[in-house]
Amino acid sequence: MTSLLQDVRYALRAMRQNAALTAVAVLSLAVGIGPNAAIFSVIDAIGFRPLAIRDPDGLVSLNTSGPTDQHGETSYPDFLDIRAGASQLGGVAAWGFGAAGVTGGDRAPEIAMTTAVSEEFFPLLGVPVAAGRPFRADEAAEATAAPVVLIGDDYWKRRFGRSMGAINSSIQLNTTEYTIVGVLPASFRGLDQVFTPDIWVPAR
């Protein structure tokens, strides 16, 4: 212990005598540690943390392909055909990214990231709502149902300050008015660990 204290005192004296060199060394460490910590945080979020869903190891991704596009987009009719024929799977759900201009209330207009999902999406993944209620089957499947949305926790905090008054309030996405019926849990950020949707709408 005595030897350790002597070493510490010697190091402190040396740093005081070479203040410029010490400053450069500390700055170099900070420049090196900062980006590495940021990169690790991104890699951790993308590659190491499991998805906040039921049985993530049992999840598979299906898509259609063509002669010139091996990973093309799947149309909704294609999804219906896949769902009808996928007898060996526990369930099939569809989802797709988008964006919309958002207006409503006394808040400034903005562009929000959206994801359209089929009626099976949240039940299949075992994702509950944190507030409000989930989509009803008729809302997710029938074009005649009143337009409704779920919002993510981050969006709830950013645009509504986590106010419960957001539930059952109206927002306009592009030219269509929707009712917010629920908020998803903070742990669920979608199936893409990089892209986090703000608003979830029924796929029709």
| Structural domain boundaries, residue 175 | 56-202
Q: Write down the pLDDT at residue 64.
A: 75
Quick one: 44 and 73 in the same domain?
no
Quick one: 40 and 104 in the same domain?
no
Q: Write down the pLDDT at residue 50.
A: 62
Residue ranges of alpha helices (H) inside 44-85 are: 76-85
Quick one: 41 and 131 in the same domain?
no
Q: Which two tokens stand for residue 60?
A: 């598979």
Q: Write down the pLDDT at residue 71.
A: 65
Quick one: 27 and 116 in the same domain?
no
Q: pTM of the predicted model, to two decimals? A: 0.71
Q: Write down the pLDDT at residue 101.
A: 94
Q: Cα torsion for 77, 81, 86, 90, to the nearest 10°?
A: 40
Query: Which residues of the chain fall below pLDDT 70?
Result: 1-50, 69-72, 140-145, 193
Quick one: 10 and 105 in the same domain?
no
Q: Write down the pLDDT at residue 83.
A: 86
